[in-house]
Structure 1
Amino acid sequence: MFARSLARKTVLLSDGTVLGTLHNINVDFRTGSLISLVVKPQNEVSGIEKVDGYYIIPFDSVKSISDYIVIDRKRLSR
């Protein structure tokens, strides 16, 4: 999947809550591994901390990517 196809995709939690839209992706350029998603908030979601006005979502909490990016909320609370 190309990174440009992810641009501005809606990010949802696994319970259906809209988190926001994908703003950026953090990558480890040495290994090519995706580290985290930077999400522009659409809603205030309890239990998820903002950094400089954005949600930083660890990539290992991504459950699926298709029309939406779905985040497994249980993995966020670890």
Structure 2
Amino acid sequence: MAKIAASRIRDRMVVTSQGHEVGLLFDLVADEKTGKLVALVIEPTTEEMRELLLTDREGLVLVPFTALRAIRDFIVVDAKRVPRKVKKVGMFARKERPAG
């Protein structure tokens, strides 16, 4: 993967590999000890996404950095790795409890 400055991708649209808009990249989280990036911090752009995705107290979504698939005009993440409030279990859905 080519190198790119974090400041150049801030506020870039984040979409899933299926093409669904998640929101705008707000920040990146790095491990202080290793310096490795561990998460993308995304600000959902629609009320629908805020309702669907698991958010923190500020309404931001933390997506594991391992979900990153591509950075182009937009950022592509693996939809299966985006944390949701509701998980499908067979034909049924169950609500996730927020961490913390």
Q: Are positions 1:13 and 2:16 aligned together?
A: yes
Once residues 2 and 22 of structure 1 are traced to their aligned partners in structure 2, the CA distance between those partners, rounded to angstroms, is 13
Correspondence for 1:42? 45
Percent sequence identity over aligned pairs: 32
Q: TM-score, normalised by structure 1?
A: 0.86
Correspondence for 1:22? 25
SS in structure 1 of the partner of residue 76 of structure 2: strand
Query: 4+ residue stretches of structure 1 with deviation over 2 A?
Result: 43-46, 74-77
2:73 to 56, 67, 72: 67
Correspondence for 2:34? 31
With a CA cutoff of 8 Å and minimum separation of 6, indicate the structure with the bigger relative contact order: 1
Structure with a larger share of its residues in strand = 1
Q: CA RMSD in A?
A: 1.4
Q: Which runs of 5 or more residues in structure 1 are unaligned?
A: none
Q: Which runs of 5 or more residues in structure 2 are unaligned?
A: 84-100
Q: Larger Cα Rg: Structure 1 or Structure 2?
A: 2
Are 2:38 and 2:64, in contact at CA under 8 Å, matched by a contact in 1?
yes
Shift of 1:66: 1.3
Q: 1:20 to 1:76 in 2, by over 3 A?
A: closer
